[in-house]
Copies of this chain bind each other. A is one copy, B any other.
Amino acid sequence: MQLPQGLAPMTPSTADALAAERAKAAFSVAAMNEFIIDEKTRTQEAKMERIMAAEPETFSVRNKYFMSRHEKMEHALKIGRRLIEMARAGEITSDEITTADVMLDINGPFGLHRAMFIPTLESQATDEQKELFLKPSLQYAILGCYAQTEIGHGSNVQGLETTCTYIPETDEFEVHTPSIRACKWWIGSLGVTSTHAMVMAQLVVGGKNYGPSPVVVPIRSTADHSPLPGVTVGDLGPKFGFNTMDNGFLMLDHVRVPRINLMQRYITVSRDGRVSRPANVDPKVAYGTMVYVRTLIVRSMSMALARATTIAVRYTSVRRQFAGKADRALSAGEESPVLDYGMVQYRLVPLLAQNYAMYATSQAFASHYRECMAELGRGNFAPLKELHATACGLKRWMSDVALQGIDTCRHACGGHGFSQFSGLNEFYANQYPNIIWEGDNYVLSQQTSRFLLTQLRALRTGAHVEDNQTTQYLRRHLTNGRVAGEPRFAGKSVREMAADPQLQLDVLGYRASSMAAKLADKMEGGQSWNRSLVAMQRLSDAHADYIVASYFRRHLAKLPTSSPLLPILNKLAALYFLYVLERHPGDLFRLPAPFTRAQIVEIEELLAQQIADVREQAVPLVDAFGIPDMSLNSSLGRSDGRVYEDYLQRAMEDPLNREDTGPAIRAEWFEKYYKPVLHAADNKKQAKL
């Protein structure tokens, strides 16, 4: 298919419009990129971009939007196999494979082997078991998955029904699925790929249940991949997204495995059926892994939102619609870029501020995590609970903001956001599970709130309270766990608050503290846990609003005060702060020392100014995220601004249009469906039209 000859060029061209936005940059985009993206990410991405660009026959994802699920999976397998070859050859690391998956937005079937099977062996296997299972896993001589969730049991791990019963007669465990409800479900890499499953099952020895424990069960032959006896296993079908992954189901019919297959680092079953737990391991270390996974989600959500804001900001800078409504002069015949409209700015620019806050938080939180792990190494388990509670709150907050943000970006692109070529649809669907897995966001907020309420109770009763970032702010704004006296920002105007980082933190800290105190009062007054759940969501988010602001600030503090990056970063931080306030006027009116109506109006006015101001730097700000076109895989977000040319080109590449495939499909459809309709007996006479 060819474009008609003699089409006039677009004036002004979208490429020129994007270049003009770039020319407005008031800071060094490269320096900003170095500051906001952590070094490891930058290095790995640059390396993998280079490697993948050199092998487009394997790694090009331009055609992914045309693929069926079957083709998507095969594409992912091809990429997965090649990356494993490279890793075997020592060209890339296992970590870099993950980086490639993220860059391509392809979650391949080998993924859970690396992400869950191997880490479980590393943390829960004895040395003997490592030799037996970990070593071949690292060589990909066996392929594993982590089979915990059951079709009827998601959040409630204690309620799992699969059993692992010790059979002393043969020195084996019998692993069994008692009912449909116990069918293992959602297990990544299980549907087609795995030869082994790490099955979480109720450990039963001598008739006694010792609770869920992981046991390695071979499920498919490594010789030819056929399911082993007693194993019913398959792919669980198409999903909203993530269709490159073979999430699967598994039922085990009295399957026997040797005793050594039960992970024995934290629990041991002896030949004669005695169960013991080693004394020298604190079970709390298990928290560490959960927290670690959530630090990864925090990081990946920053990157996910950045992909969307990059596309939407670039596109709305070059998309033009109407003239004379936006407050900026136009040349004759020109229409306004839609990013000049107040409502488009209101939807996108605060997302940019949140996105910068997320990246900064992801770095600062990772540091905090490493410090806590170092303490743990010194035998100090004290920081764990706060770390866990904050990780839960941040995971929820980050994934909610990112998912809603991607959706907002899609809608801000207007109708074209709905095309797969926008890069925002398959991507959105692939990111969606982040609000569900590793703790459904609605469940996680309970962990965060429970911790806050426990600290408050301790403060109120005078019990021992650890010193950490959470208790510090609770103490700063409460007296003995209760609201008392004036807040620290009393008498300040909103303009003063927005200009002063400490006041920003004080407002957000006071808000979260007083919400916690109010909820504690109600629950002490008899309000049930179940009736407190809505308030717990809000409390968890208010805590996260504060924590994110605090980490953002901590990261900015790394810059010298003379840094030319600081002016725009401080604007973003103030914008983040004002946006939190503007969306929660109800909270502000209900503070023990409430905001006035005049202050609420001031917030709105200041926010609008700040948004209009930051809008001028929007393109340089997304450029600084440094996301390559290969990852964006988007007509609308192209770095060269050649939006419509690429969009039309991609359409022409659709199998329905391509010269090598289109005519045959269309001819077949014409014979089968169109001709019978157009040429029906009673309208033949009309068919000459």
Contact = CB atoms under 8 A, between A and B. Distances in A.
A256 to B, nearest CB: 15
A281 interface: no
B689 A222 contact: yes
A653 to B, nearest CB: 8
Given A141-B689, A530-B327, A411 B425 contact: no
Question: Which 9 A-B pairs give the minimum distances between C-beta atoms?
Answer: A585-B586, A68-B68, A141-B686, A141-B683, A139-B683, A136-B686, A240-B425, A4-B253, A343-B533
Given A240-B420, A585-B586, A590-B597, 7 more contacts: A10-B152, A141-B687, A159-B335, A180-B648, A218-B689, A225-B670, A325-B530
A183 B5 contact: no
Among A141, A320, A665, chain B packs the most CB atoms within 10 A around the CB of: A141
A352 interface: no
Interface string A77-107: 1101100110010000000000000000000
Contacts of A251: 3-4, 7
A321 B600 contact: no
Interface in A216-251: 218, 222-225, 230, 232, 234-242, 246, 249, 251
A415 B156 CA distance: 13
Among A85, A342, A529, chain B packs the most CB atoms within 10 A around the CB of: A342
Contact of A585 (B65, B589, B650, B676): B589
Contacts of A240: 410, 418-420, 425, 428
Contact of A253 (B5, B65, B342): B5
Nearest to A432: B418
Contacts of A419: 236-240
A149 B78 contact: no
A489 B18 CA distance: 54
Contacts of A211: none
A222 to B, nearest CB: 5
Interface stretch (A185-193, A199-207, A272-280): A185-193
A669 interface: yes
A155 B414 CA distance: 9
A524 interface: no
A350 to B, nearest CB: 11
Contacts of A432: 418
Interface in A518-532: 528-532
10 contacts: A5-B253, A77-B672, A81-B673, A136-B686, A180-B648, A192-B656, A234-B652, A325-B530, A417-B436, A586-B589
Nearest to A657: B234
Nearest to A665: B70
A602 B130 CA distance: 60
Interface string A486-529: 00000000000000000000000000000000000000000011
A65 B237 contact: yes
A686 B81 CA distance: 18
Nearest to A246: B656
A553 to B, nearest CB: 26
A232 to B, nearest CB: 6
Nearest to A340: B530
A666 interface: yes
A143 interface: yes
A11 to B, nearest CB: 9
Interface in A424-470: 425, 428-429, 432-433, 435-437, 440, 442
A314 to B, nearest CB: 16
A420 B346 CA distance: 34
B686 A1 contact: no
Contact of A534 (B1, B88, B343, B590): B343
Contacts of A66: 69, 237-238
A225 B678 CA distance: 10
A142 interface: yes
Contact of A418 (B110, B142, B436, B688): B436
A235 B654 contact: yes
Given A8-B179, A342-B530, A687 B222 contact: yes
A566 to B, nearest CB: 28
Oligomeric state, in copies: 2
A411 B437 contact: no
A534 to B, nearest CB: 5
A146 B508 CA distance: 52
A215 to B, nearest CB: 15
Given A234-B651, A238-B65, A342-B532, A436 B421 contact: no
A59 to B, nearest CB: 15
Interface in A630-684: 644-645, 647-648, 650-657, 662, 665-666, 669-670, 672-674, 676-678, 680, 682-684
A586 to B, nearest CB: 3
Contacts of A683: 136, 139-141
A325 B241 CA distance: 32
Nearest to A232: B4
B421 A237 contact: yes
A191 B586 CA distance: 49
Contacts of A322: 155-156, 159
A83 B530 CA distance: 51
Nearest to A433: B418
A153 interface: yes
Given A2-B232, A77-B673, A327-B531, A645 B143 contact: no
Contacts of A149: 415
A178 B428 CA distance: 35
A85 to B, nearest CB: 8
Contacts of A437: 415
Interface string A337-374: 00011111010000000000000000000000000000
Interface in A108-143: 110, 135-136, 139-143
A191 B249 CA distance: 39
A651 B235 contact: yes
